[in-house]
Structures are given as structure tokens and as C-alpha cells.
Amino acid sequence: MAGHSDLGRFLRQCRADLTPEASGIAAETQGRRVRGLRREEVAMLAGVSVDYYTRLEQGRHTSPSPAVVDALARVFQLDAAARAHLADLARPARRSDRQMPAQRVRAAMHQLLASMTEHPALILGRRTDVLASNALARALLTDWTLLPPRHRNYVRWIFLDPDARDAFLDWPTVAADVVGTLRLYAGRHPDDPQLSELVGELTIKSAEFRTWWNGRHVHERTHGTKRMNHPAVGPITLRYEALALPGDPDQTLFVYTTDPGSPSHDNLRLLGSLAARTGPVPGTAPSTPARAADASTERADPS
């Protein structure tokens, strides 16, 4: 997936996206065929030889030193998430035939989620797999329990369920960021076969995913705001916090809140009341066409 051949691709994308003006280089206006930097310009700014940098881009050298990684991150003006991704891609090859251990959510965490009746909450694992969620999260987003185990995945829902596109008022931003999150994971776990399956499926089925996956955007979700329009209660603006869980660095607890006294707060409370009285809320079940396709390809969950 995101093995060391991707180091060169990532560097080429960074170089193409950075203009001479942004990097402080006075670019000549005549004879320049590309918008981005040239290899010799990157090498000069990073303090390495042109031959060495060329070998990095061509995949003939795949393990630059931490000092070179830092220099390239500075040249390309990478944020913390993109810099971490570059460091992941630059790590020495570490292929292993050992099966990744199955992820399990502790019973105490399930109890904690169930007790959070006023706040949607869910736990995402590897590849943004949805490992657990409370009733309000299922009412707000979708009822993951109705999906085959292998299809309980946040990225997959965002791109393949039409209701997800309608739910987020800023869907392009949400979708691009979640692709960046998946890319960050891919750099850390390049040999995950289920990641390869997920990316392959989404690349075939979604042109938008294919376009963003071929880019270089890297995103780490720590906190932020989501604007949604729920079919049962109307608009809801939520803040979320992402909390890494001890014992498994690939499990993250997401908790959503609203501003007290706001229309969003009232709408979220109404949604909770509807879910408590009637069970599944209209608009939160996976779309029927997707369910039919999923049922035909259901497999046992290996994790």
C-alpha cells in the first residue's frame, strides 16, 4: 500500500505543489515548464546533492536520515501530520508475515459509550473501522450494526453511502480529510492487507476517492467542527474531540458535543429523544442499494 516506493511519489507531489515564490526562490518567467520546484532547487534548499535527492524521488534510495527528513519537511513547509507521514515513509523496510492482532474494545469502554446518552461517541480502529458506537452516534450518523462486519468502516460509509454525502454540509472537506487520515495510517501500516482491499474497492467505486488518494493531503483528526443536516431534526453543528485509548494506539475515541443553549444542542437532544422512543431514526440506516450490494459480498470479519 504505502510502502517505500511511495516515498518518491510523495516527494514529487510535494515538489509539484510548492511554487518558487512560496519557497523564497526568485523564479525566472521564461523557459519554466512546471509550476512547482525543480529537483535542483529542492536539493539546494534542503542542503543535499541533486543526485541524492533524485535517487530519493526515483526510489533508488528509500531511507533518508532523520536530518534529511527534517530538511525536506522544512523545504516543503509540511504540517505536523504530513511531516510524520514523511518520516513513516522514510523508515527502513519492516515487512512482516505476522498477522495483525484482532482489535477488541474493552467491556468498560462499551459501558462508557452506553452511559453517554447526551453525546454521540464512537471508537474507530485501524483503517477507520468502526469498533463500537453508542445509540446517539448511530442515530446521528448511521446504524453500523446493520452492516456486515467487514463494511463497518467510516471512510467506506463516507464515500459509498449516499446518505453520508447528504448528511455533511461540508462533505468535500470531510471526505478529503478522511482520505488524509487513511493515508496517515497507510504510512504507519504499509503491509495491512485489509487496507489494500479497502483502498482498492474505494478507488474503483469512487472517482472522488481516487482523485484525493492520488494527492498528498495528510490529516490527523484531533479536534474540530462538523456541520450536519439530519433528515429527522435539521441542522446540527458539532464539535468533536479525538482521544487515543491506552493499550492500543490504533483505537481512538471520538466524542461529539454541541454548544449549550444553541439550536444544535436542542436538535441533538430531540434526536436522542426520538431514538429512545422509536429505535432507529429515519435516515440513519444504510441506504438500501448499498445494503443489497453489501449482503452479496459479506465475509467473516478477520479482526
User: Per residue of the chain (303 residues), what is the pLDDT tens digit?
Assistant: 444 478 888 999 889 888 888 888 876 655 667 778 989 999 999 999 999 999 998 888 878 999 999 999 999 999 999 999 999 888 876 655 556 778 999 999 999 999 999 999 999 999 999 999 999 999 999 999 999 998 999 999 999 999 999 999 999 999 999 999 999 999 988 889 999 999 999 999 999 999 999 888 999 999 999 999 999 999 999 999 999 998 888 999 999 999 999 999 999 999 999 988 866 665 677 764 444 333 333 333 434
Distance CA 78, CA 187 (A): 15
- The total of other beta-carbon atoms located within 10 Å of residue 193's CB is 11
| pTM (whole model) above 0.85 | no
Distance CA 123, CA 202 (A): 22
pLDDT of 4: 45
String of b and e for 74-95 (b: at least 16 CB within 10 Å)?
A: ebbebeebbbbbbbbbbeeeee
Among the listed residues 133, 56, 117, 113, the one whose alpha carbon sits nearest the alpha carbon of residue 89? 56
Task: For 150, list phi and psi in degrees, rounded to 5.
Answer: -70, -15
pLDDT of 209: 97
Q: State which amino acid sits at residue 154.
A: Y
Task: State how beta strands 234-244 and 223-230 pair.
Answer: antiparallel
Q: What is the DSSP string of the chain?
A: ---THHHHHHHHHHHHH--HHHHT----SSS---SS--HHHHHHHHTS-HHHHHHHHHTS-----HHHHHHHHHHTT--HHHHHHHHHHHSPP----SPPPPP---HHHHHHHHH--SS-EEEE-GGGBEEEE-HHHHHHS--GGGS-GGG-BHHHHHHH-HHHHHHBTTHHHHHHHHHHHHHHHHHH-TT-HHHHHHHHHHHHH-HHHHHHHTS------SEEEEEEEETTTEEEEEEEEEEEPTT-TT-EEEEEE--TTSHHHHHHHHHHHHHHHHSSPTT-SPPHHHHHHHHHT------
Distance CA 215, CA 289 (A): 29
pLDDT of 140: 96
- For the record, the C-alpha cell of 246 comes out as 491506552
Among the listed residues 42, 62, 287, the one whose alpha carbon sits nearest the alpha carbon of residue 190? 62
Among the listed residues 58, 24, 82, 53, the one whose alpha carbon sits nearest the alpha carbon of residue 216? 82
Tell me if 157 sits within 8 A of 182, measured CB to CB: no
pLDDT of 35: 75
Distance CA 89, CA 111 (A): 38
Distance CA 82, CA 22 (A): 18
The answer for residues whose C-beta is within 8 angstroms of residue 288's C-beta and 6 or more apart is none
Task: State how beta strands 234-244 and 252-257 pair.
Answer: antiparallel
